[in-house]
Amino acid sequence: MSTRSARAMEVLSRFGELEWFSLPAEKHPVYGYPQVPYMGWRYTSARESVAHLIEDAVRALPTQVEWTLDRTRKNWLLVPTRILHEAQGLNSPAFANIVHSVNTQDQEFCFEALSDLGLILEHLHQVALPEE
């Protein structure tokens, strides 16, 4: 597990018990180029207040790219909004192709999004926890 994955799990665990978590590698495992980051997770008991807290915290940051917390499915996904728009949603079979296309053709976007993810994780680490 990468340092960033461990950090992300630690940060997200502040808001509830994680049942599942995934964060793609920062760099392509074979070719070494940076990859656009997105992370998915599921809490054992999801709370609407936590979702709003995370959404508000991400929205309040001066990120280089726009981010969306997608909760339309069982797992929550924090992803650059551009990926969702170009893929026309998570249910689209084009999602993986769009991610691959951005990874290979827009390295600047990948660098910006990777930088943003570090900022987002640090900010979420400092956000006050909601009342139980």
Domains of the chain and CATH, by start: 3-126 (3.90.1150)
The pTM is what? 0.91
User: Could you tell me what percent of the chain has a pLDDT over 90?
Assistant: 73
Rounded CA-CA distance 66/81 in Å is: 6
Would you say residue 33 has pLDDT above 70?
A: yes
pLDDT band at 82 (very low <50, low <70, confident <90, very high): very high
Its sign, for the CA torsion 93, 87, 114, 47, is negative
Nearest to 39 by CA among 66, 3, 9, 1: 9
Nearest to 100 by CA among 22, 24, 39: 24
For residue 121, what pLDDT is reported? Answer: 96
Question: In what helix (H) or strand (E) does residue 81 lie, and over which residues does it extend?
Answer: helix 81-87
pLDDT per residue as tens digits for the range 7-23: 999 999 999 999 999 99
